[in-house]
Structure 1
Amino acid sequence: MRNLTWRQIAVILGCVLTVATLAVGIYGLVRGPQSAESTSGPPPPGEFEAIPEEATPVVTLKDRALPHTHDPIAYSRAVASSLFDWDTSLGFLPTDYTAAVLADADPSGEETPGLIADVATYLPTVDQWLDLGAMEVRQTIEIDGAYVPESWTAAVEQAHGHLRPGTTAVTVTGTRHRSGVWNGESAESSHPVAFTVFVACEPSFDRCHVLRLSQLDNPLR
């Protein structure tokens, strides 16, 4: 926001969401200022090349970067997948999975501290992660829908132009699926989830960036 403080915008949005029978805050949204393969020659006479052992594939998270897009809906779906698709058996920690979202935070840095706190609630703690790792727990999200909630239109009107241009709230709904090993046997579970992603796109930025997240299972409607 340009002139309003976080407390002031929270009051404005609180009024709007109360009318809509919601008890969710806006969570900030303050506007502020070698590649080629090498080949070896033939071995010397009398020498033989050793047969290499089969290499173990290296698992990385390099492909988890969020897309560069102007579409807040597509972008928010990617944020959801980045936060909910993980595997405790691969040797990574929760922070490895949240890194892609945090790397695409508000370029101004104003919302980054809040976003760090937000994403920490979406994944298990390190101790929980290690316990889940012993059970080889893997999680994915099946996204059912992503939409701009009706209450957001009223919130923008109540802000009287003080929201950062291009700021949008996108509510994502879906089903969280988990699988693992319990007492030596395969086990699965599913649970519905819903949350809101606050993003800022054009004209504030040349592409979408994630600002904040709502409380899990307490989205804007």
Structure 2
Amino acid sequence: MPKSSPFTGQSTLLRRLLIGLGVLVVVALLAGLTARLAGGGHRTPSAANSPSIPSTSATSTASPHGPSPAPSVGATPGVSVVAAPPHTSDPIAYAKAFAAALWSYDTRTATQPQQLAGLRDWLTDETKYADPDALAAQLPDPTLWSRMRDNGQHAVGEAAEAHLPAAWQQAIGKDPTQLTVAYIYAVTVTGKQTVSWLDGGRGAEDRAITLAVQCRPGRDCALASIATTVYP
């Protein structure tokens, strides 16, 4: 799958968080978001209500949300060809589920616009944080997708492990209240993508991605953006 292109648009602050992901960048970004929301009359939650940060040791070797079965040829219009987002408030579980969905596709039964539409169902409905351009950059363009379809190419993704990058944890650990502005977690996921094509061809490669996952209290998690760099 292609790498993300440089971020543009209204989610610039979020993209700077993902691109830098160093302590100073994270702190500066979240402080800027706090000021922005405060200026708009929003109230920032108090430190007493700040959420606990999931431990990086709380990872699993099994994907909690594997890819859905490939739809049949001529699938019903309007029905997503991508696995549905899970109902979870755990950013790590959500990131693993999304990565498995992103790395899974079937050009034989889905068009590129259908695949993209299905993935967009994972985006947060808070437009100031949602980054559809970063998501679209993860897919081949329609022309390349058509060529892949001619070759019968399809893939299954597996998310083996996920964790919060150390730099992100250190930055938030110094001031947990900054997390309560947007409740966005950086999560790095590693796994494998197995690709198959006509005449029995088959291959596999390791995959890794860093995601920005929004998990507000009392709501299911949602995707905010995708980093151009994988963070350890």
TM-score bin (small chain)? 0.5 to 0.7
2:202 maps to what in 1? 188
Q: Offset of 1:154 from its aligned partner?
A: 2.2
Larger radius of gyration: 1
Q: Offset of 1:157 from its aligned partner?
A: 4.6
Q: Offset of 1:171 from its aligned partner?
A: 0.7
Query: CA separation in 2, counterparts of 1:109 and 1:134?
Result: 36
Structure 1 unaligned regions, length at least 5? 19-25, 34-55
2:211 maps to what in 1? 197
Task: Note the alpha carbon deviations across 1:144-197, whole angstroms, 9 max, x for none.
Answer: 21111212112325677444353211111011111102xxx3211212111111
SS in 1 for 2:88: coil
Q: Identify the structure with bigger relative contact order (alpha carbons < 8 Å, sequence gap 6+).
A: 2
Please show how residues 113-124 of structure 1 align to structure 2 within 5 Å: 115-124=131-140
Contact kept in structure 2, 1:148 and 1:169, CA below 8 Å: yes
Please show how residues 7-26 of structure 1 align to structure 2 within 5 Å: 10=17, 13=20, 15-16=22-23
1:211 maps to what in 2? 224
1:107 maps to what in 2? 125
Q: Normalising by structure 2, report the TM-score.
A: 0.64
2:161 maps to what in 1? 145
Q: Normalising by structure 1, report the TM-score.
A: 0.67
Q: CA 1:88–1:219 in structure 2 vs 1: closer, same or farther (change >3 Å)?
A: same
1:220 maps to what in 2? 231
2:116 maps to what in 1? 98
SS in 2 for 1:124: coil
Structure 2 letter corresponding to 1:65: A
Structure 2 letter corresponding to 1:6: L
SS in 2 for 1:111: coil
Identity across matched positions, percent: 24
2:187 maps to what in 1? 170
SS in 2 for 1:65: coil
Structure 1 letter corresponding to 2:211: V
Contact kept in structure 2, 1:106 and 1:209, CA below 8 Å: yes
Structure 2 unaligned regions, length at least 5? 1-11, 43-71
Contact kept in structure 2, 1:88 and 1:129, CA below 8 Å: yes
Q: CA 1:190–1:57 in structure 2 vs 1: closer, same or farther (change >3 Å)?
A: closer
Q: Offset of 1:108 from its aligned partner?
A: 2.0
Aligned residues: 177
Q: CA RMSD in A?
A: 3.3
Give every structure 1 segment of 4 or more consecutive aligned residues whose post-TM-superposition deviation is greater than 6 Å.
none
